[in-house]
Amino acid sequence: MDMTEPTPAQRAVGDFAPKLVELTDNILFGDVWERPELPQRDRSLITVASLVTSGSVEQLVGHLRRAKQNGLTEAELKEAIIHLAFYAGWPKAMSAIQVAKQVFAE
């Protein structure tokens, strides 16, 4: 992780909740996301699915970007959201697909 540029967690809440930033940067992204037992592409798909099913659209923006960086295509991510509509609920999928539409337009 480039320490000269603030991380997303540092930008979001660094001055308000530094311990949460430390845990996010060091444990979640520094350790869990780096474990070799599961490729980051798969971790991204799981994370996006989890965020869709929980209705956490605020976090979805960054994780859709990360998913694309980790090799998932827009078509695959859209299909995952469509598939989740039947398991997570239509409103959650509709909210998620609107976020995806914004992110993919960038």
Domain ranges (residues) in the chain: 1-37, 39-106
pLDDT tens per residue, range 62-105: 999 999 999 999 999 999 999 999 999 999 999 999 999 999 99
Residue 53 pLDDT class (50, 70, 90 cuts): very high
The DSSP line for 85-100 is: HHHH-HHHHHHHHHHH
pLDDT tens per residue, range 12-45: 999 999 999 999 999 999 999 999 999 999 999 9
Q: Check: CB of residue 64 under 8 Å from CB of residue 103.
A: yes
The chain-wide mean pLDDT, for the chain, equals 95
CA distance 61 to 51: 10
pLDDT of residue 3: 57
CA distance 22 to 34: 16
pLDDT of residue 4: 78
CATH superfamily of the domain spanning 39-106: AhpD-like (1.20.1290.10)
